[in-house]
Amino acid sequence: MPVRRPLGLLAALAISAGALLSGLPAQADETTPSSPTSSEAPRVDLILDVSGSMRTADIQGKSRISVAQQSIDEVIDALPAETEFGIRTLGATYPGNEQAMGCKDTQQLFPIGKTNKVEAKTAVATLRPTGWTPIGLALREAAKDLGSGQTTRRVVLITDGEDTCAPPDPCDVARELAAQGTHLVVDTLGLAHDDKTRQQLLCIAGATGGTYTDVRSQEQLTGKVKQIVQQNADTYKVTPAKTAGTDKCETAPLLTPGVYSDREKFSEHRVYRVPVKAGQELRASVSVAMDRAVARDYGVLLQATDPTGQELVRGTDAGSGRTDVVSTGVRWSASGTTAAKATATGSSAATNADHTVCLVVSNSFAPQPGVSADPGLPLELTVDVAAASPAPDGPAAGLGRGWVLLLVLTGAGLLTGLVFGWLARWRIAIWQEN
């Protein structure tokens, strides 16, 4: 599952909720995103590492645990009203050296539900770095905490080290959860910067469609966790259907109105097809999440083309103000002046009553040195097909009114000039007579 955007999606176009549930019939080989019942709410379980290494004071002169506690306090204060939030710890209670005991050390600190902010913050304040790091076990238990449902649920893992208790290996656990289709996304945040920890956290996030963040400051940790929680609150109502774009339009999956998730490699093109009938308008948006360190000077491009590759419209970098997601969108009408223009240029998409529009998602991302290119970047595509907006008057009518106005203004100017010229000559003649 990709990082979710916009939410509403972090997209350039507004997609109506009704269109997500209706529109064209679903194709036999595609899954139409379903909508949850109104009783479901966004759910987030935060796993906090309280192992002994969290005592290390290397983040802006503060210990890792104090940075995490302060950040969690700020996150709790900013929780959306509808979000059901819980906290699970690992390594918080067993101070001994017996691995078998230390590797069972995970429990709910605060149960998932409507949050009593005072109680939650008080519970976090009592934590002291103590034991081992059973990440795999904590992930399994967090999945149980969140329960089942049709909406995406999120685990936010904050840790400063790799698992010290495998088995179960946390990457294997993440793959198990993803294979179960539990709509469970794990976002990982690393407070230490060694390569082994980074690779393990990237693996966990990648297996579930989540994000990985290499934390360098308290502000960064606070901002990222707030962003994840808010994002889940914005988008939990629709679970994206997984799809897989191809490199050619003729082999691309055929999509109906809905929300879809995919992954796109660095500097890759992925293509999807959408049927659009005469009198309809295609509205599409895409968000690509930067879930790892990328090089500067990047961009995202969304193009609508006909099956021959003739471009119909394009959109680039809509700019949502966020630094972890780039979004853009397009809209194209299958009737009116746009289709007429396509016909004039020989576009096959405009020569039939029904059109096949190819949506091409491209990116110019590049990984920073040492950053893994796999899996691809999380991508979320929103597709809507609605009745075309009323077309403006044709060029002839507009030009006709423009020419009439121009002639009237020209005539008025000439008449005014003649009158002022005659008056000037009359005054000069009188002055000469006197």
Q: Mind listing the domains of the chain with CATH numbers?
A: 37-235 (3.40.50.410), 241-387 (2.60.120.380)
Structure tokens at 4: 């979710």
Planar angle of CA 20, 329, 345, nearest 5 degrees: 110
What is the pLDDT tens value at each position of the chain, 434 positions in all? 333 333 333 333 333 333 333 333 333 344 343 333 334 788 999 999 999 999 999 999 999 999 999 999 999 999 998 899 999 999 999 999 999 999 999 999 999 999 999 999 999 999 999 999 999 999 999 999 998 876 778 999 999 999 999 999 999 999 888 877 667 889 999 998 889 999 999 899 888 878 889 999 999 999 999 988 987 777 666 667 889 999 999 999 999 998 898 999 999 999 999 999 988 889 898 888 877 778 877 889 999 999 999 999 998 654 444 456 788 888 898 764 444 444 334 444 334 457 899 999 999 888 888 777 888 888 889 899 888 765 544 444 444 555 666 777 777 777 777 777 777 777 777 766 66
Please report the pLDDT score of residue 11 as a whole number: 39
Contact 208, 174 (CB under 8 A): yes
**Residue 34 to residue 36: CA distance in whole angstroms:** 7
Question: Is this prediction's pTM over 0.75?
Answer: no
Strand segments (E) across 35-105: 43-49, 57-59, 62-63, 84-90
Nearest of 231, 232, 333 to residue 276 by alpha carbon:
333
Taking the CA atoms of residue 66, residue 115, residue 238 and residue 205 in that order, the dihedral angle to the nearest 10 degrees is: 20
Q: Would you say the C-alpha torsion 96, 102, 106, 107 has a positive or negative sign?
A: negative
- Report the pLDDT value the prediction gives residue 326, as an integer from 0 to 100: 81
